[in-house]
Amino acid sequence: FLALLGSSHAFSTCRTLDLEAARRKRIEAVRGQILSKLRLPEPPPDPPPARALPDEVRALYNSTQELLRQRALLRAPEDPEDYYAKELHRFPMETPGDGE
């Protein structure tokens, strides 16, 4: 029986499924859909490599961050009660007698 099963496999007309090829085709299809939505004929070129920030810009950023930290330390802690409403406002949405 096993010999017949093995020989019958040779007569099969079904091709084996290449999952990697199917995956690549799907990726290309999605890439094409994205490009068509963006109305681009081809993907944009890769951006140039990022340059290092100048020392002046880095120093300005660091000093700003330090100033914000100092201000946060000097600020009084927020009172949790300020978060909640002090007054209750009620707005009736139905006129009397509509619920009957």
CA distance 40 to 26: 19
| Residue 58 reports pLDDT greater than 90 | yes
pLDDT at 68: 94
CA distance 22 to 16: 12
Per the model's pLDDT, the better-predicted residue between 13 and 62 turns out to be 62
Amino acid at 69: R
Give the confidence band of 67 by pLDDT, cuts at 50, 70, 90: very high
Please give the average per-residue pLDDT across 6-27, as a whole number. Answer: 73
pLDDT at 25: 94
pLDDT at 3: 54
CA distance 47 to 31: 18
Please give the average per-residue pLDDT across 66-78, as a whole number. Answer: 87
Query: Given CA atoms 65, 71, 76, 79 in this order, what sign does their dihedral have?
Result: negative
CA distance 60 to 53: 11
Nearest CA-CA partner of 17 in 4, 30, 26: 26
pTM over cut 0.75? no
